[in-house]
Amino acid sequence: MVPVYTGRIEMTTPEATIDRIDRLLLDALQEAFPLVQRPWKAIADRIGITEEELLKRLSALQNQGIVRGVGPVLDSRRLGLNAGTLVALHIPEEAIPAVAGLINSYPEVSHNYVRQHHYSIWFTITAATEERISAILSEIQEKAGILDEDILNLPTVRPYKVDVRFSCALEEENGPD
């Protein structure tokens, strides 16, 4: 399996009305992204539309909130990043923007979300070593004035990669279940 170039789409409105071509586009974006000079053209050719139409459709899907983003799924361990953790912080609501900005300043942070929960900020860190992760957490804790009891650190013990793909075109062709 190719370690770096599989596609990921994030859909935010699964019940939205989209046509067959949009569904084919969503399916194509979940496959291996073509590493060619014009990847959008290669995908467009595969689903039978022009590159211009593909880009318009993708933009429309994003503007409608159906697709939140398109990006790679990286195999961090194959890139030498052998340590990872999920972190949750209890942060007062008024401090969330500043703390989120601090967290986002670290290139090792790949996700950072606010949740309606006692632990209001959740983020992931992937680094070469556990020591680097500890250093990042210590810096964040010190700079933001976070107490030990307000940090939940859930390090990766054993990585599991689940390749989940949702067929968007099949439902329309076969009818709803």
Say whether both 109 and 54 belong to one domain. no
Give the residue from 141, 137, 96, 143 showing the smallest Cα distance to 117.
96
Say whether both 56 and 84 belong to one domain. no
What integer pLDDT is reported at residue 111 of this predicted model? 83
Say whether both 94 and 130 belong to one domain. yes
Say whether both 45 and 107 belong to one domain. no
* Number of domains, the chain: 2
CATH code of 141's domain? 3.30.70.3460
| Within a domain: 139 | yes
Q: How confident is the model at residue 11 (pLDDT cuts 50, 70, 90)?
A: very low
What integer pLDDT is reported at residue 163 of this predicted model? 60
Say whether both 82 and 31 belong to one domain. no
| Within a domain: 31 | yes
Say whether both 98 and 141 belong to one domain. yes
Say whether both 68 and 137 belong to one domain. no
| Within a domain: 1 | no
Q: How far apart are CA 125 and CA 153, in angstroms?
A: 10
Say whether both 136 and 105 belong to one domain. yes
Domain hosting 19: range is 6-75+163-174
Say whether both 128 and 63 belong to one domain. no
What integer pLDDT is reported at residue 143 of this predicted model? 97
pLDDT tens by residue, 114-173: 999 999 999 999 998 999 999 999 999 999 999 999 999 999 887 766 665 667 765 444
Amino acid at 69: G
Say whether both 112 and 145 belong to one domain. yes
Task: Assess whether pLDDT exceeds 80 at residue 7.
Answer: no
Look up the pTM and report it: 0.60
pLDDT tens by residue, 55-111: 999 999 989 888 877 876 666 777 767 778 999 999 999 999 999 999 999 999 988
Instruction: For residue 135, give every residue at least 6 positions away whose Cβ sits within 8 Å of its Cβ, in sequence order, or none.
Output: none
| Within a domain: 138 | yes
> Is 99 within 8 Å of 151 (Cβ atoms)?
no
Say whether both 106 and 65 belong to one domain. no
Task: Assess whether pLDDT exceeds 60 at residue 16.
Answer: no
How far the first Cα of the chain sits from its last, in Å, is: 32
